[in-house]
Amino acid sequence: MLEELKRVMIIEDDNFLSSLMKVRLEKEGFTVMQAFDGEEAIELLKTDRPDLIVLDLIMPKVMGFEVLQTISMTPELEKTPVIILSNLAQDSDIQKAKEFGAKEYFVKVKISIDDIVKRVKTLAGE
């Protein structure tokens, strides 16, 4: 299963968290791209087509909801699974993300890196 899914894009402005996820996912055999703000992510997505995206919502320049909306409105990207990883924990934020097509929504303080890696691998097998 994993052989078919190779490329994950992490869109996260927290450099430490992004690097930690990158190292863990690369150990699992994924190729990982990183963007550290929403503007950089949108530019990267114009040329790169990841198989799965891990997306923060609170970021500089362009917020994650705008990135998610861009993904959902781009035919080449709209079917790409997106996992939200955010500090926003309100039901309205979770609902909005799901309406824009997010497959999963995790609150940072409630999930471990191990859990994120497991979920990426699970979605990779779909």
DSSP-derived secondary structure letter, 33: E
What's the pLDDT at 42?
95
Q: What percent of the chain has pLDDT over 70?
A: 94
* Contact (CB, 8 A) for 53 and 8: yes
Q: What is the largest CA-CA distance in the chain?
A: 36
* Mode of pairing for the β-strands spanning 7-11 and 31-35: parallel
pLDDT for 1 equals 44
Kindly report the CATH number that applies to the domain delimited by 2-119.
3.40.50.2300
Whole-number pLDDT of residue 20: 95
Report pTM. Answer: 0.92
On the question of pLDDT at 119 being above 70, the answer is yes
Q: Does the structure show a pLDDT above 50 at 91? A: yes
Q: Using alpha carbons, list the distances in angstroms from residue 39 to 24, 62, 111, 120.
A: 25, 5, 26, 23
What's the rounded mean pLDDT across residues 44-63? 94
Domain boundaries, the chain: 2-119
Contact 67/96 with Cβ under 8 angstroms? no
53: which strand partners? 9, 82
pLDDT number for residue 5: 60
Residue 75's pLDDT is what?
A: 93
CB 83 within 8 A of CB 52: yes
For residue 117, the tally of other CB atoms under 10 A from its CB is 16
Query: What's the pLDDT tens digit per position in 2-42?
Result: 456 689 999 999 999 999 999 999 999 999 999 999 999 99
